[in-house]
Copies of this chain bind each other. A is one copy, B any other.
C-alpha cells in the first residue's frame, strides 16, 4: 500500500482498534433500538404505499379495504415478534436463524437460511436506499431522473461509515431515528384528534380519479380480485423485515443480552404496528390516492395528469394534509423519513458482516471474511454488501416497486425454517425436562413458535405465488446460487483438511531429509547475488552450487570471467536453454537432482529486488516471480527468496514503523 492510500485509509476509517477494546463497542438498548430496529420501522415509509398502489390497480374503491390488508400484516408482525422473543432467549449467541436452523434441522437447513438472509440483506439495502432516494427527489426537483446515481452515492457513504465501526454509526444514527418516531407519532396523534373533531381536510390527491387496469373495471371481484388483495398483503409484508436482524445481532447488545434484545423487539413491534395502522387509516380518512404510474393511471376531470405530475409518497401527502399550512413540520417529517430510510440500510450493514463472519468460521465462505479488518467491523462483508446493493439499484434503476418484488422471500424462508427449528428445539427439551413449571413454560413457548411457523409458512407461500414471475424468481435463483457456492467452498475446505490431516502415525511425517542440496540462481554478479551466495553459505548445506541459465552465450562468458576474477568460493554451473527460457531449465535441473537423490532436500535461493513503486515491478523480478511459482509445484523443494532492498523501497517500508511497540 502506498503512503497516499495508507493516509487516505487512516483519514476515512480512523485508527485501528485493539481486540481488548471490543467490549466498548457493545450497544445499550437506547442505541440498539435505532441501530437494529430502523429497518423494520422505516419500512412504514414504503410498505403502506405498496399496499395502496397494488390495490389501486382495481381502481378507487379497492383502496378502501387497505386498513384490513394492513391489519393482516400487523397480525403476522405480532406473531413473529412473539416467536422471536423465544428465539433470542433460547439462542443468545447471535447465530440467529442460521444457528437455530443448523442446530435443530441440520446443516442444509442452516445453509438455506444463511443463503436466504444474505440475499435479503442486500435487498434491504437496495430497497431502503431506493425509497430514500424517492423521498429526496420528491423534495428536491433537481434529483428527479437521477435517483439511481443518488442512491448509489448513499450506499457508498453508508459503507464508509460502517467501515469506521459500529459504535460510531450507532451514536450518529440514534438522533434521526428518535426524531422519526416522534414525527410519525405526532402525525398519528394530531391526525386522529383532527379526525375526531371533524377538522381533518381531504388529501391533495383526493380529487383525482384512479384508472383501473384492464380486467378490474368492476373493482375487487372474483379470483383476480382476491389475488390482487394477496399481492397487496405480500408487498405490505415488507414491514416485517428487520425482526430477524435483532435476533442475529444479540451479541452486539449490552448484558443481559437476551433480555435487552427481547425488550427491543417488543418496542419495535409496538411502534411498527402503531405507525402502519395509523398511516393506512389516515390515508383512507383523507382519501389519499397512490399509484405505480401516476402519469397515466391518475385522471383529473377524466384526463390523465401527464408526465409533469409529481406524486408525493403517502407520508408526505398525509403530513401536508394533517399539518396543512405549517410548512416547517411538513418539511421535518419528509426529511426525517428520508433520513431514516437511509439509516435503515445500516441494519443490514450491521447484520450482514456478522453473518458472513460466522459462515466463514464454519468454512462456508473464504477464511479471510472471518479475519477482522483494521477496524472492529468486518470490512470484507461490508464491501461485499455494498457491492451487491449497488448492482441491484443500478439494474432496477432504484425503483422501489420493482425491487419489492424480489424482497421478503428470503426473510420468510428464514422465518419459517427458524420457527420449525424452534418447535423441534422445544420438543427435544421437553423429552428431558422433569420440572413441571419448566415444562409448562416450554409448552407455551412451543405453541407460540408453532403459530409463528404456521403463519410465516403461509405468508411465504403467498409471497411466492403472487411475486414469483414478477421478480421473486431472481431472489430464489440468487439464493440457490449462494447456497451452492457456499456448499462448494465448505466441501473444498473439508477435502483439503482431510488431505492435510496427520495420519495415525505422525512420526513418519517427521523424517528429516538426508542432505540439503542448495542452489543459488545467478544472472549477474552484483550485490544481491553476493548476498544470496553469502546467505546460502551461512546455512552450511551439504552441496552448494551457483546456477545460471545461458540465454545469451556472450553474457555467460562475461559472467565466468568475473567469477574467476573474484575467486568465488562456490562452483558455477551453466544450464543450457534451447528455448531461451529461464524457468524450464531450472525446474528441469531441480527435478534431475531429485531423481538422482530422492531423499535430498533442494533449497533454491533466488536473489530478488524489493522495489518501492508499483511500476518498478514491471521493470524487475518478472522472471524470478514466474520461476518461483513454477518451482513450488516440484515436491521436495524449498524456495528461499533473498531480498535486496532497493533505495526506493526504504520509504515504502516506513508506514510499518508506527506499529512498533
Contacts and interface: CB of A to CB of B under 8 A. Distances in A.
Contacts of A493: 619
Given A501-B526, A516-B538, A526-B500, A506 B608 contact: no
Q: How many copies does the complex hold?
A: 2
Interface stretch (A133-141, A292-300, A315-323, A630-638): A630-638
A199 interface: no
Contacts of A653: 633-634
Contacts of A510: 530, 533-534, 569
A638 B638 contact: no
A628 B537 CA distance: 22
A421 to B, nearest CB: 26
A509 B496 contact: no
A643 B639 contact: yes
Nearest to A576: B19
Contacts of A551: 371
Given A580-B371, A609-B496, A638-B640, A633 B645 contact: yes
A502 B525 contact: yes
For chain A, what secondary structure do more than half of its interface residues adopt (helix, strand, loop), or is it mixed? mixed
Interface string A555-570: 0000000000010010
A534 B514 CA distance: 11
A602 to B, nearest CB: 10
Interface in A492-529: 492-493, 496-497, 499-502, 506, 509-513, 516, 525-528
A96 B71 CA distance: 88
Given A492-B616, A639-B643, A579 B512 contact: no
A618 B492 CA distance: 12
A458 interface: no
A632 B610 contact: yes
Contact of A512 (B501, B537, B637): B537
A204 interface: no
Contacts of A16: 579
A638 B516 contact: no
A661 interface: yes
Given A501-B526, A637-B643, A538 B512 contact: yes
Interface in A597-639: 601, 603, 605, 608-610, 616, 618-620, 622-623, 628, 630-635, 637-639
Given A623-B371, A633-B649, A638-B642, A500 B516 contact: no
A156 B299 CA distance: 59
A539 interface: yes
Contacts of A20: 578
B367 A619 contact: yes
A126 to B, nearest CB: 25
A374 interface: yes
A535 B513 contact: yes
Nearest to A565: B506
Nearest to A512: B538
A28 interface: no
A388 interface: no
A587 interface: yes
Interface in A475-503: 489, 492-493, 496-497, 499-502
6 contacts: A509-B531, A509-B534, A579-B659, A591-B660, A630-B656, A639-B643
8 smallest beta-carbon distances between A and B, as pairs: A500-B526, A633-B653, A632-B643, A509-B530, A640-B640, A18-B578, A372-B580, A513-B538
